[in-house]
Amino acid sequence: MTYMTDAEFEKLIVYLDQRFDKAREETIETVRASENRLNDRFDAVMAAIDNVATDQVAEQSQLNRHEDWIVKADKSLTLGYEA
């Protein structure tokens, strides 16, 4: 049975450290890329929600104007509309 010399062992340790450092860097890069994609998607969802809320406010405003117009028209036309 042969054993490693101190120099061979040191060389192995340096090699393994380099491999682990590279793997760690790749993992960090992958996590950061995933985080950026997740943040982009979250921003897109928030923008869509904001658009829906803005549309709902505009629709409600328009509905209120129509309701007011119908009430005014009913007074003139005496149709018996009840809001």
Domain boundaries, the chain: 24-83
Which of 56, 71, 10 minimizes the C-alpha distance to 80? 71
Q: Tell me what pLDDT residue 57 has.
A: 96
Q: What is the distance between the alpha carbons of residues 42 and 24, in angstroms, rounded to a whole number?
A: 27
pLDDT digits (tens, 9 = 90+) for 71-82: 888 777 777 766
CB 70 within 8 A of CB 81: yes
pTM equals 0.59
- Read off the tokens for 67: 């309701």
Q: Tell me what pLDDT residue 70 has.
A: 86
List b or e across 35-57, with b for residues whose CB sees 16 or more CB atoms inside 10 angstroms. eeeeeeeeeeeeeeeeeeeeeee
